Amino acid sequence: MAAALAAHAEWNRKLQEVLDGEAPMPEIGDVARDDMCALGRWIKGEGAEKFGRLPAHASLRAAHADFHLLVGETLTAHAAGDLAKASECIRKVRSGSSRVQLELVRLSVAARGRT
């Protein structure tokens, strides 16, 4: 779980590099999906097996899906040359990333209370 979260936290940096022209544009359809990153695979795999019955797992799953949709929206705006919208979206991505981290902490707390 920790490794998946650390890899996911890199999204903010990677996305900013794309917006700054320092990294190539990823495939938008891939990054907008919530099951292609390590955290998404964990949420839908091992995380669902172990914690799927907890409401905190559903909250994490929703926050994570929303985050990836925001990344896709940001890249779509950037690709269309709408830099104002891309800039607005990147702020939402950062907020969404914080929400994913918070929901993961909530799941961790809920899981400890379950044992």
10-residue averages of pLDDT along the chain (115 residues): 73 90 95 92 94 96 97 97 94 93 92 74
CA distance 58 to 69: 17
Contacts of 56 (CB under 8 A, 6+ apart): 103, 106, 107, 109, 110, 111
Q: Mind listing the domains of the chain with CATH numbers?
A: 2-114 (1.20.120.30)
Structure confidence at residue 93 (pLDDT) = 94
Largest CA distance in the chain: 50
pLDDT at 114: 63
- What pLDDT sits at residue 90? 93
pTM of the model: 0.90
Contacts of 74 (CB under 8 A, 6+ apart): 15, 19, 86, 89, 90, 92, 93
- The predicted pLDDT at position 23 comes to 95
